[in-house]
A and B are shown apart, each in its own frame.
Chain A
């Protein structure tokens, strides 16, 4: 009997289909992301605010089914560095810088544009996403930035031992009787604004932010004055830990710190005070990476943080202020009381928003901070 050999045997068929199935499944085997791109977002934000991952992200996932891959970084200079790497390597969809950096990030080609029709621009409180802030959010015309929360950098003072003028002023930071905790570049800006308010500058301090010649002229003066008063600085801070230790461990009585520092120390005999010149105010929000992979999900995410629940959760996590209408009713009453204790309507109207700072400005600013530190 002759064995017939068929070109298409049962065994061959099985082998072939197994290989085919393997090929089809390959993207899933090689990269889990190939299958999961429908429901995730890669978000790079601030480290040290655990309530985000504990409360806000689970609530967002419950509402939309999108999971958040959260990468925590300590400061936005590191975020910029990671963003620059991600431009080639991918892996980041949304980052959370402050508004004053958006210009520099945009000129570095990092940012893509948000699609306003997929967001709810009406959710935002007045003044945060429209008006001057709205213009700053649109470098080159398209919307590149939407807010997530905002807060202030102001005087943290030891209520018992700080020597304050009446009303308290940024100048109290440079009083030789007050051991102080500051960060170099903010201290120089505070010196500049104080000199400006007391009429000791040849031109307005704000000129320095738009004109580099004016910047060096003004910052030279501020640096010289700040160096004269440097003896009272007992601690530099760059993050929450050092700021806190400056007061508790190194005995500072006055500092120019974030609101969160003042909030954490509120029960230890420290108060958060708005200076007569107006507190520094910052505005933090979301930018979309130019090469973001999960664009739809990113819009969902950002939209969620503008709703009352999302905005309140975000602001509570940072001990700061919400961006969404109706969010303040949902906030932790502790935070609300703390803020209202510092900022009455007058103090609110005097808030000094950090202006845009170009890449060139930042480089020059770092030089001044360096000289101030080494002096």
Chain B
């Protein structure tokens, strides 16, 4: 704060602070608080709002436990409330997306930060950025076209004689969430790449050379030197990709199979199909809290502190 004052003077500093306060308060805190308040009230006709039936309760929240549904998780038959099942699927496959983006992004980030010649970096970064200039909606639709039954992927594979019958890629080979995982990984891989790239750039190359001089094989150098240093970058990349994937509505709607259901779609259904905004708000709150808890648990598990990420 002192630093800001000294550098920009009172006028600019107070403009900064006011803008940040406006952003946080008006665009984040107040809308969420309004949803929070609405989530405890029943869905009533407009004329009955504020009437005797309009009382606070947890009824909207408990709806998530309704509607038991038989399913199998890893081959074990279970009966779970349908929306809990959707929620677990969403969290599991978002974690999978996070894992895949990490697998793609880490080697690339290391290459960019330590191996590629500094002169080629701007070109490489530009190449990575170009897909981001296209809107996410268009990228999702492009993938929809690629994966469809009569789409170019099937045509190409058939033309090359690799497959004989067209495959319904959208419905999945392994799970009914294949298409969603592919497209989310594609859409969010850069959100993983850049934090890791930044983190590895700050690592002194001498440390890597020292490890190699002392006879460390390449994998141990990464395990003991590079990854520990890049941990904050990896952690913030993981948090971003996980939250973006779990909260994505567009991608599952466009490419999702007829068997996949993403939790944001359930929330959307409450708002726009059932017209029950209150239950929709309750589900949003549940989802927000559960995802935060999941992220905190994961950070505990991997021993990352919030202050590491903030750096």
Which residues on A are within 8 Å of B, measured CB to CB?
75, 77-78, 80-81, 84, 87, 104, 107-110, 185, 230, 233-236, 245, 248-251, 359, 362-363, 365-367, 369-371, 373-375
List residues of chain B with CB within 8 A of the CB of A234: 149, 168, 171, 258
Known: A370-B266, A374-B69. Is A78-B272 also a contact (CB below 8 A)? yes
B170 within 8 A of A: yes
Known: A250-B150, A369-B269. Is A359-B45 also a contact (CB below 8 A)? yes
Task: Sample 21 A-B pairs with CB under 8 A, ordered by A number.
Answer: A78-B272, A81-B275, A107-B47, A233-B258, A234-B258, A236-B258, A249-B148, A249-B151, A250-B149, A251-B149, A359-B43, A362-B274, A363-B43, A363-B274, A363-B275, A366-B270, A367-B274, A370-B82, A370-B269, A371-B69, A374-B259
List residues of chain A with CB within 8 A of the CB of B276: 363, 366
Q: Which residue of B lies closest to A241 (CB)?
A: B141
Q: Which 7 A-B pairs have the closest CB atoms?
A: A366-B274, A109-B46, A249-B148, A366-B273, A77-B272, A251-B149, A363-B274
- Complex-state Cα separation, A84 to B235, whole angstroms: 42
Known: A235-B258, A371-B82, A374-B85. Is A110-B274 also a contact (CB below 8 A)? no
B39 within 8 A of A: no
- What is the total number of residues of chain B having a CB less than 8 Å from a CB of chain A? 33
User: Do B258 and A230 touch across chains, with their CB atoms under 8 A apart?
Assistant: yes
Known: A234-B168, A363-B274, A366-B269. Is A374-B261 also a contact (CB below 8 A)? yes
List residues of chain A with CB within 8 A of the CB of B261: 370, 373-374
User: Do B273 and A77 touch across chains, with their CB atoms under 8 A apart?
Assistant: yes
- Complex-state Cα separation, A369 to B273, whole angstroms: 9
Among B43, B258, B266, max chain A CB count under 10 A is at B258
User: Do A375 and B151 touch across chains, with their CB atoms under 8 A apart?
Assistant: no
User: Do B275 and A374 touch across chains, with their CB atoms under 8 A apart?
Assistant: no
Q: Which residue of B lies closest to A373 (CB)?
A: B261
- Complex-state Cα separation, A150 to B16, whole angstroms: 55
List residues of chain B with CB within 8 A of the CB of A367: 67, 274
Give, as a whole number of angstroms, the nearest-CB distance from A53 to chain B: 23
List residues of chain A with CB within 8 A of the CB of B149: 234, 249-251
Known: A84-B46, A109-B46, A373-B261. Is A249-B275 also a contact (CB below 8 A)? no
In the complex, besides A251-B150, A370-B269, 4 extra interface pairs with C-beta distance below 8 angstroms are: A81-B271, A84-B46, A107-B47, A366-B274
- Complex-state Cα separation, A75 to B275, whole angstroms: 12
List residues of chain A with CB within 8 A of the CB of B85: 374
List residues of chain B with CB within 8 A of the CB of A110: 46
List residues of chain A with CB within 8 A of the CB of B270: 366
User: Do B274 and A248 touch across chains, with their CB atoms under 8 A apart?
Assistant: no
Cβ-neighbour of B47 out of A78, A109, A245 (below 8 A): A109
Cβ-neighbour of B86 out of A78, A87, A374 (below 8 A): A374
List residues of chain B with CB within 8 A of the CB of A185: 273
- Complex-state Cα separation, A370 to B64, whole angstroms: 12
Give, as a whole number of angstroms, the nearest-CB distance from A161 to chain B: 13
Known: A233-B258, A370-B269, A374-B261. Is A250-B170 also a contact (CB below 8 A)? yes
Known: A234-B171, A249-B151, A250-B149. Is A107-B273 also a contact (CB below 8 A)? no
Give, as a whole number of angstroms, the nearest-CB distance from A127 to chain B: 29
- Complex-state Cα separation, A110 to B277, whole angstroms: 16
List residues of chain A with CB within 8 A of the CB of B171: 234
Give, as a whole number of angstroms, the nearest-CB distance from A253 to chain B: 11
B244 within 8 A of A: no
- Complex-state Cα separation, A367 to B277, whole angstroms: 14
List residues of chain B with CB within 8 A of the CB of A245: 144, 148
User: Do B67 and A108 touch across chains, with their CB atoms under 8 A apart?
Assistant: no
B295 within 8 A of A: no
List residues of chain B with CB within 8 A of the CB of A108: 45-47
Give, as a whole number of angstroms, the nearest-CB distance from B170 to chain A: 7
Give, as a whole number of angstroms, the nearest-CB distance from A374 to chain B: 4
User: Do A362 and B47 touch across chains, with their CB atoms under 8 A apart?
Assistant: no
User: Do B258 and A104 touch across chains, with their CB atoms under 8 A apart?
Assistant: no
User: Do B82 and A249 touch across chains, with their CB atoms under 8 A apart?
Assistant: no
Q: Which residue of A lies closest to B83 (CB)?
A: A370
Q: Which residue of A lies closest to B70 (CB)?
A: A375
Give, as a whole number of angstroms, the nearest-CB distance from A103 to chain B: 11
User: Do B148 and A371 touch across chains, with their CB atoms under 8 A apart?
Assistant: no
